[in-house]
Structure 1
Amino acid sequence: MKIDVTGVYLVEYLKATEFKVRKMNVGNKDLKIFSKKIKVPSEGRLPAIDTRDKNIFSTSSRFKVDELKKTDYLYFLKIFYDKIEEFDESIEWLESVNNLFDTSTKFSPNIIVYRLKQEKDKSKINECLYIHSLKESMLIKNKTVIFGKVSKKDKESGASEFDFLSETQFLTLPEKDFICSIERAEDKTSIKVFKAFELDTVFKVESLIDGYAEKKIYRFVNDGNGKEFKLTNDKSEVSFSDEAGNDVTSAVVTAVTSSDNLQLKKTYASFSGRSNKTIQSISLNRLNKVVNSLKTYVSQHENETLFGIQDIPRIDLENNKIYVDDKSVKIFAAMLNNEIIQKLLDEKIEIPYYQE
């Protein structure tokens, strides 16, 4: 694949509607040389996520979305692309690399963006943005750098001469390991995510996920339209309450949104209640057998498990209810996740939300 870098930008990203951009004044000749050094990320085994039919939150570390829709949680990346494209001519120039070390300039970029053209074949050229996080290690300040003069040798020794640059400030531009690419072709915007966790961190997606997770948790108990989420093919009700019968919905929300486990949050945020969820195809009695197998596992591996009896949701077959509190949010999440619940149904006890 041939690529041509047409612009280099530094971005201080705060949130979807608030970011500062500076464009670097790099000559076309240098951009052409630099383009040849870019290592295009491998797209092999990059699973396609159809957000219209599946969960809007992907829990994969690598994935692609063929067309971003307004309902997608990553739709802000399309807005980001549009802003770069729309204001390209009016974006301020970065006056000097020294500005990156000057705190008084009030510009602290955390993202490097390359605007480029991709030529997959002569008849198809896509415009896209390659995004990389700007790390402190890329900023070199007050260091002594040594470099060689290839064509200049010492007359007496015949050895190549070297020069020193002292007290110099540099920005090293990345050539590989990009977080994602945002591509535009035929009025469609697609994304390829190569480092999902880093994307979540750099673009502060976690706060967005927290909001979705909270809304989904409340959907179990109060939809406002009488369409609360029901689970299993018995349409079982979920109650967020402790063993004394006290409502602990707020505590459940806090336990999820304050967790350091992003995958746990995504599981709640992505739950749709649809029939394609494994938990919707089994009976409450079958789910109860899973709960009993977890209890048996705990009793047999008391000193080995990362969870106890108190961390397991409670099942009430007589009243067709599932009770969840702030201690059992992880195992309840496992029940909502297709892959994990299937393993539990097969009596393979794996709850990844307890793993760091």
Structure 2
Amino acid sequence: MDKVEEIEETKQIDKVFVFRTNQSNFDVSKLDIDDDGLKSLSQRTEFPDSNRVKLLNMEELENRKSYKLLNNQRDSYQLKKLRDLMNTLIETDESIELLKKFSDLYDQTQKELKYNAVAYFYHSHHNNSEQFQLSIFNLKKSQILSNKELLMFNKIKIADTQIDPVTGVREIELLSIDDGINLPESDCVSTFSLKNIDNQGANTESGEMETEKEVVSGTIFDAIKFDDLFNDFGIKRKYADNVLKKFQKKKFKLTADEINVQIENSEKVLSNISDNTKLLDAFANFRGSARSTINKVSLVELKAVLVTLKKYITNDAESTTYTAINVPEMSDDDKIILTEHSVAIFAALLENKVIERLLTHEINIPYL
């Protein structure tokens, strides 16, 4: 069996890229970080324990957060995406532009990051093999440092007799940062390994001479975030489908009274979910936990919400964004009925996102 090559915490990062996945390619820029900076970043970057991550099995997939992919799964969309990104970084490295100013990273007008991911690139040689590795992290607005004042404690050598040798501190310096960003050092989304092995003319099973073999593998630590960063939602769709099936098999129940969900035409329901990324997130992330708000309210309270939603249609017909067909119904035996038309409000109930404005009494459904 192929073995997943793991990125070690102490491995030296060679290059740092920021990227965003488009429909058919990647928008990429390179960060100009000196060797000392790369060494420091390499030492501080943390990775989850990959030994506890199981191999991906689409037939038995549960809504777990992480999974591994081996070389015999190289046709999976995950390894294809990672392989394409690696190709882009290797083949176009010389032409990838350096990130020169903060405005190249952050759109001040839209208040959005132009890139949503960071790739730490590793390259090494071992005997007869050449190995390329990536570790992928999410780049978030919360990591932006803008108009910040930071206290810097400067350590010095003990030989400096002018400084207290016990504290090792020379002075406290106030560092002002106009614009910057913290590079992620934890919460790795994915790692990827591509190894080219020189077989030195070894014979294959067919008797042909094989001079080089390519082996790829990957570990996905955050399945939902991986789909978001690479703009491909295969695992999310599978997770959403699993949730629907658990409702059908009565493994998932709703409210504190544990009522069942009756799904009409599950294929059309799943299709509608898959066509909307926000709906897909709502269903893919649902765990049926007793701690979720929908499972803390009573059946009576849920029924009252559905009545309120229907009354709003009658009282504010001009401003409402939904019709009666969009409101889930209750069956005579107290099952909540999910149809292709009521998916949005059902999802809003799952996530407790049905919003009524106190002053105007307007009702807002985020998925409509």
Quick check: TM above 0.5?
yes
Distance 1:163 1:196, change over 3 A: same
**C-alpha separation in 2, matches of 1:74 and 1:309:** 45
**1:65 aligned residue:** 69
Percent of paired sites with the same residue: 19
Match of 1:110 among 105, 113, 116: 116
RMSD, aligned α-carbons = 4.8
**2:187 aligned residue:** 177
Secondary structure at 1:22's aligned position in 2?
strand
**C-alpha separation in 1, matches of 2:62 and 2:89:** 25
**1:254 aligned residue:** 272
Distance 1:111 1:142, change over 3 A: same
Read off the aligned partner of 2:39 and give its amino acid letter: K
Match of 2:148 among 121, 143, 146: 143
Match of 1:129 among 117, 134, 147: 134
**C-alpha separation in 1, matches of 2:105 and 2:76:** 36
Match of 2:33 among 7, 10, 26: 26
**1:13 aligned residue:** 21
Secondary structure at 1:326's aligned position in 2?
coil
Alignment gaps of 5+ in structure 2 = 1-7, 197-213, 242-262, 286-297, 304-328, 344-348, 353-368
Distance 1:124 1:41, change over 3 A: farther
**1:80 aligned residue:** 85
Secondary structure at 2:28's aligned position in 1?
strand
Q: Is the 8 A contact 2:227 2:236 kept in 1?
A: no
Secondary structure at 2:55's aligned position in 1?
coil
Read off the aligned partner of 2:37 and give its amino acid letter: D
Distance 1:45 1:123, change over 3 A: farther
**C-alpha separation in 1, matches of 2:138 and 2:15:** 16
Give aligned pairs, total. 259
Cα displacement (A) at 1:11: 1.0
- Could you tell which deviates more after superposition, 105-114 or 133-142? 105-114
Cα displacement (A) at 1:197: 1.5
Distance 1:147 1:29, change over 3 A: closer
**C-alpha separation in 1, matches of 2:192 and 2:74:** 13
Say yes or no: does 1:200 pair with 2:227: yes
Cα displacement (A) at 1:185: 1.9
Read off the aligned partner of 2:119 and give its amino acid letter: V
Alignment gaps of 5+ in structure 1 = 215-240, 267-300, 315-323, 330-352
Read off the aligned partner of 2:65 and give its amino acid letter: S
Distance 1:87 1:150, change over 3 A: same
Cα displacement (A) at 1:9: 0.6
Distance 1:165 1:260, change over 3 A: same
Match of 1:161 among 171, 195, 204: 171
**C-alpha separation in 2, matches of 1:265 and 1:107:** 25
